[in-house]
Structure 1
Amino acid sequence: MRRLVILGGGTAGTIVANKLRRRLDAAQWQVTVVDRDDAHAYQPGFLFLPFGAYRPDDLVKPRRRHLHRGVDLVIEEIDRIDAAANTVHLADGTVLPYDYLVIATGTQPRPDQTPGMLGPLWRKSIFDFYTLDGATALAEALAGFDGGRFVVHIVDMPIKCPVAPLEFAFLADAYFRHRGIRDRVEMVYATPLTGAFTKPIASTLLGSMLDDRKIAVEADFLVERIDPDRKTLVSYDEREIGFDQLVTVPLNMGADFVARSGLGDELNHVPVDKHTLQAKGHANIFALGDANDIPTSKAGSVAHFAAEVFTANFLQLIDGRPMTGAFDGHANCFVESGNGKALLIDFNYDTEPLPGTYPIPTAGPFRLLEETRPNHWGKLAFRWLYWNALLPGRRLPLPAHLSMAGKHQPNISKE
């Protein structure tokens, strides 16, 4: 019996377990997923929870329900991987041998890494929305916020869903306008990037959208600490941003067991070949989803598209053949812009987001780099697709690799 062990039962881990369980001979392969709990969260929904669009119960379901029959689920904390011995050691002393290992434990916000963030203002004047608890607490705080300086802040990159802070700023602007208090709210967007986004064309457009909404951008802002007594963000270059309410995206880091296993970089992300997702120096270990260090967005779409390539490659590998698939970093993300509209961006390692139509070049129905209502409806509809098509590992009618069909170069200057 050959053993495939998948660490992490989130998006990437669940998709891969389900896809491979259908393709591997059950008499010859044991597929095991390990996670610390049986609660699978639809993380894109955290963005909407503070604004009352969802309740916590709408976003969390049992992991077991979404794993195919024949996939074993082990609920336990992971202590470490012994790559030399091909074993995973769990916190309760259990040792799981493997022939092949997939690390899909994601990346998590670490507010403990920024001095002052977890002080007396945490969940009182300082909030996050990348966790269920944080988004729930923020919903109550937003309802009671009546004016002042409202700061949306990113500690550093990379983060999961890098457009989410922008989306939050746009939604907060619309929320305050709906409540009739926008004129009493000074909004600031503080980012470590040189602009609103990592890619020039999208950054120009998104930056102009912030300007239109009178949201001030504080670029190249690398926070050194938070002074809770003065309610102030302090950067390494000694710039300061005061706040009445701060919504922050803490430093994102991979799982601690990755560091204990000697498999991670300084952020506990696993260095991999960016095309095969194979861990560097370990032919039988792969890292998928947010757990690896590939230079593209840490987003659910990346987990989906990469899983398509990985699955085909894995079947070649275990059959003794070369892996011929090459993941191109394909990512697409809906960007909520408020008032029932959204943008869509579609890009990969080599091609930045461009205007056009998606997925059908001549018909869409989605418009790239353009605010439309169908884009917003697409974002909302994705929740159903996530639970009923993506996680079960069903093949979606979307190419895993970026297509240039329907895209065109814009007139926007990159300067």
Structure 2
Amino acid sequence: MKTFLILGAGTGGTMVANKMAEILDTQEWRIVIVDRDETHYYQPGFLFIPFGTYSPSDVVKPKRNFLPPQVDVIFSDIELIEPDKNRVKLGRAKKTINYDYLVISTGSHIHPEETPGLDDEAAWMKNVFPFYTLEGATKLGNFLKFWKGGRMVLNISEMPIKCPVAPLEFLFLADWFFHERGIRDKVEIVFATPLPGAFTKPRASAVLGGMLDDKGINLQPEFTIMEVDHAKQVIRSYDETEIGYDLLVTIPTNMGAEVIGHSGMGDELNFVPANKHTLQSDKWENVWIIGDAGNVPASKAGSVAHFMLDVLIENIHRHMEGLEPLPDFDGHANCYIESGFEKGVLIDFNYDVEPLPGKYPLPGFGPFSLLKESYANHWGKMMFRWMYWNILLKGGEMPFESQMSMAGKWE
């Protein structure tokens, strides 16, 4: 019997497991998925926890609930991947799995220890918090309940990061939250980013940067952090620029899974080099990536994993039939950006086309507006949690095409 092995049961891995369970003959194929954690996290929901919109219970469910019964689920750490030998060694499970096909969906994770000062456990989470983890978002929420004001600095350590719009969403929601509490005039909000502007794409960066200005949020571009000085309560860049803080919301360096590095399969940030259009590993033809695990220059976000899915499944199926994979993944991403006060912005883009104004998904009708604030965009964001748990994870059909369409957009 042949083995189809998936490493990681997050968004990408779960979708692949559900799709392959529909396609592969269980008399011929064994489908195995490995993950060290039995809990599935709805990571977009972490953003809302500091502001009391969601509680931790809103963003966690058992992973088994979303995996089909014909898939062999193993909860274990992964000790080593040996792609030249087509096998994976598991730690806690104490077994070796030989595979015919491997999909790597091990995601990305924050590494505060990459920045001096962020690895100081004595100071960590007193007035320095991440929100890219459930623990960090929850502790930040507890801090904000009683904070009286001061200077709040949000800093991105380096790119790439998961969900590149999340820092902007946090800033916009913080502006709303402090208004709601009646202390906005007592809070200075600073955004220190290594990017030259508010976002990675120039046109969207101009629009979103304008929104920061309108909300009185101070943008500090091209700030490349060197260290956090807890004694002085400053973050310091390599050119010795200092920004003081009373509250630091940090987005540490994001890296791929450590086992990718230990196995010699990754780049300097432990992301697996892969063809950005086919999603096939650059080095091993029976190894594929989905979601955040690869080095493809697409946004590391759940919507991108969804858009990768159909291309990945078709290309793996083609490879099984002895055919060449098709270069069909265009880097498509779309992201709802919460902008506060029950409004949001939607952006839709790919490798070659940056976010443009227009209507989505129906040309001229929408109901969502692109690159423009609207109430509908906010409700689209809020409805997505239900769609995620009930449709997307299970590999169900979503009303969005994998390839980006120019219909309804204008230059």
1:107, distance to aligned residue in structure 2 (A): 0.2
Identity %: 54
Q: Deviations over 1:201-246 (max 9, x none)?
A: 1000000100111111110001011001001100011100010000
Counterparts of 1:134-145 in structure 2 under 5 Å? 134-145=136-147
Q: Deviations over 1:33-86 (max 9, x none)?
A: 100011000000000011111111111001111001201110000111011110
What CA distance in whole angstroms lies between the structure 2 residues aligned with 1:214 and 1:104? 39
Q: Choose the corresponding residue for 1:395, options 373, 394, 397.
A: 397
Q: Deviations over 1:345-387 (max 9, x none)?
A: 0000000000000000021010000100110000000001001
Counterparts of 1:163-178 in structure 2 under 5 Å? 163-178=165-180
Conserved? CA contact 1:271–1:294, under 8 Å:
yes
Conserved? CA contact 2:358–2:364, under 8 Å:
no
TM norm structure 1 = 0.98
Question: 1:98 matched to which residue of 2?
Answer: 99
What CA distance in whole angstroms lies between the structure 2 residues aligned with 1:168 and 1:121? 22
Q: Deviations over 1:298-328 (max 9, x none)?
A: 0101100001111111111111122235100
Question: 1:148 matched to which residue of 2?
Answer: 150
Q: Find the residue that maps to 1:186 and give its secondary structure.
A: strand
Conserved? CA contact 1:312–1:325, under 8 Å:
no
Q: Find the residue that maps to 2:408 and give its secondary structure.
A: coil
Q: Quick one: which amino acid aligns to residue 27 of structure 1?
A: Q
What CA distance in whole angstroms lies between the structure 2 residues aligned with 1:140 and 1:30? 45
Question: 1:114 matched to which residue of 2?
Answer: 115
Question: 2:67 matched to which residue of 1?
Answer: 67
> Does residue 334 of the first structure (1) align with residue 336 of the second (2)?
yes
Conserved? CA contact 2:156–2:192, under 8 Å:
yes
Question: 1:30 matched to which residue of 2?
Answer: 30
Question: 1:222 matched to which residue of 2?
Answer: 224
Conserved? CA contact 1:231–1:242, under 8 Å:
yes
Counterparts of 1:42-53 in structure 2 under 5 Å? 42-53=42-53
1:337, distance to aligned residue in structure 2 (A): 0.3
Counterparts of 1:308-323 in structure 2 under 5 Å? 308-323=310-325
Q: Choose the corresponding residue for 1:356, options 343, 355, 358.
A: 358
Higher mean alpha-carbon deviation, 133-142 vs 322-331, is at 322-331
Q: Which runs of 4+ in 1 moved over 4 A?
A: none
Question: 1:76 matched to which residue of 2?
Answer: 76
TM norm structure 2 = 0.98
Conserved? CA contact 1:310–1:325, under 8 Å:
no
Q: Quick one: which amino acid aligns to residue 40 of structure 2?
A: H
What CA distance in whole angstroms lies between the structure 2 residues aligned with 1:322 and 1:251? 36
Identify unmatched segments of 5+ residues in structure 2. Answer: none
Question: 2:205 matched to which residue of 1?
Answer: 203
What CA distance in whole angstroms lies between the structure 2 residues aligned with 1:42 and 1:257? 23
1:122, distance to aligned residue in structure 2 (A): 1.0
How many residues are treated as equivalent by the alignment?
409
Q: Find the residue that maps to 2:359 and give its secondary structure.
A: strand
Q: Find the residue that maps to 1:48 and give its secondary structure.
A: helix
1:121, distance to aligned residue in structure 2 (A): 2.4
Q: Quick one: which amino acid aligns to residue 111 of structure 2?
A: R
Question: 1:376 matched to which residue of 2?
Answer: 378
What CA distance in whole angstroms lies between the structure 2 residues aligned with 1:26 and 1:212? 57
Q: Quick one: which amino acid aligns to residue 343 of structure 1?
A: V
Q: Find the residue that maps to 2:272 and give its secondary structure.
A: coil
Q: Find the residue that maps to 2:268 and give its secondary structure.
A: coil
Question: 1:304 matched to which residue of 2?
Answer: 306
